[in-house]
Amino acid sequence: MQFNILVLPGDGIGPEVMTEALKVLKGVGRKFGHTFNLTNDLVGGAAIDAYGVALRDETAHQARASHAVLFGAVGGPKWSDPAAQVRPEDGLLALRKSMGVYANIRPVKSYPFLVNASPLKPAVVDGVDLIVVRELTGGLYYGQPKRRWSTQRGRRGVDTMKYSEMEIERILRVGFELARGRRKRLTSVDKANVLETSRLWRQIAIELAPQYPDVTVDHQLVDSCAMQLIQNPKQFDVLVMENTFGDILSDEASVLAGSLGMLPSASLAGIPAARSRRRARGFYEPVHGTAPDIAGQGKANPIATVLSTAMMLRYSLGLPKEAQAVEQAVDRVLEGGQRTADIVAQGERQVTTSQMGNAIVEALASAA
Ligand code: IPM
Ligand code: MG
């Protein structure tokens, strides 16, 4: 089969980890006989330097015309002046909105060999396997009015938290569907004791629940959920929440895994249904950022981007067998003791970004 993929490596370690993910994708093509047509483009700081904007119109257009977008990371000290007129993150936010990828899926799994890498006790993190489902194209990030201005009595600023029934229902359904394909537990996160948008959210969650009788739903307030996530994370299967809550809790949840360098994400324009092979246009990126302090040194862990590529195979290209082959290759390489700088322990041998990529490609090629 033929697939069109837009590749946006971005800034910092983005290009390094993307190089490795593309090696693995090429390996998938060879092994399973698929052709991946790749288009490369600049985004974020790299696009600001070259074109003066974080995302060009033609890039957004190409993204909408592709089966999927593979994204590295954007940003860095060079572009982070708060007074700057354009910022790299604008490119990411505009791309999400323009592709309509409202469902951000961030799986967090603790790897046995990393339980000591987390600042939490091994007994707390061992066995954690959860998914944060974050609404990605609404709420405070996009609501209008959104501006800063000056008055006689000082400066003011406003952001707007706004959600429609349609936006809430569709993201809750993603949560229900994902839970259905797993341990069938859904935690809906809100701040219904204070916020109107949250009261609407909870009402809709309660109304939808009878349509998913196989899924057990509970409702948690976001502050209490933040605490539960580090106190007793094993209670969670799928968590679903609005954009800003999801931004915050997904970073918190990432600590459970031991390293940000292991965490992939998918952002989808549709529902990944447990019982069908329906595909959705998607945007795939590692959860980590550009890590400017280690860029160009071969220290970055490419696994988050490789696993994001596996998610792309599964959700946007309809290739679950291929996705699983990539995930198993990663597992095998880790079992074999290969470690990048972020996950290496005393006495273990450290490999570079590209050695890790090569090892995954080899494991993939030699699998039955
Ligand atoms: C994330 C990031 C982005 C967000 C930033 C880079 C705009 O923190 O993907 O979680 O806030 O959504
Ligand atoms: Mg974030």
> In tens digits, what is the pLDDT along the chain, a chain of 368 residues?
789 999 999 999 999 999 999 999 999 999 999 999 999 999 999 999 999 999 999 999 999 999 999 999 999 999 999 889 999 999 999 999 999 999 999 999 998 888 888 889 999 999 999 999 999 999 999 999 999 999 999 999 999 999 999 999 999 999 999 999 999 999 999 999 999 999 999 999 999 999 999 999 999 999 999 999 999 999 999 999 999 999 999 999 999 998 899 999 999 998 876 556 667 899 999 999 999 999 999 999 999 999 999 999 999 999 999 999 999 999 999 999 999 999 998 888 899 999 999 999 999 999 98
Can you tell me which atom of ligand 1 is nearest the CA of 104? Answer: 9
247 is catalytic: yes
Instruction: Supply the pLDDT for residue 198.
Output: 98
- Catalytic, 129? Answer no
Same fold, 1-109+275-368 and 119-257: yes
CA–CA gap between residue 73 and residue 13 (Å, rounded): 7
**Encoding tokens for residue 347?**
């006495």
Q: b or e along 218-234 (b: 16 or more beta carbons within 10 Å of the residue's beta carbon)?
A: ebbbbeebbebbbeebe
C-beta 92 within 6 A of ligand 1: yes
pLDDT of residue 118: 85
Q: Which CATH superfamily is domain 1-109+275-368 in?
A: Isopropylmalate Dehydrogenase (3.40.718.10)
Q: Does the C-beta of 247 come closer than 6 Å to ligand 1?
A: yes
> Is 251 a residue of the active site?
yes
Ligand 1: centre distance to CA 247 (Å): 6
Q: Is the pTM of this model over 0.75?
A: yes
Q: Specify whether the CB–CB gap between 89 and 45 falls below 8 A.
A: no
Which of these, 323, 291, 298, 318, lies nearest to 308 by C-alpha position?
A: 323
Closest atom of ligand 1 to 93 CA is 7
- What residue ranges do the domains of the chain occupy? 1-109+275-368, 119-257
Atom in ligand 1 nearest the alpha carbon of residue 287: 9
User: 119-257: which CATH number, 3.40.50.720, 3.40.50.2300, 3.10.450.50, 3.40.718.10?
Assistant: 3.40.718.10
Q: What is the pLDDT of residue 113?
A: 85
Distance 223 CA to ligand 2 centre (A): 17
- Could you tell me which of 311, 347, 364 has the C-alpha nearest to residue 116? 347
Q: Which of these is catalytic: 218, 223, 293, 331? A: 223
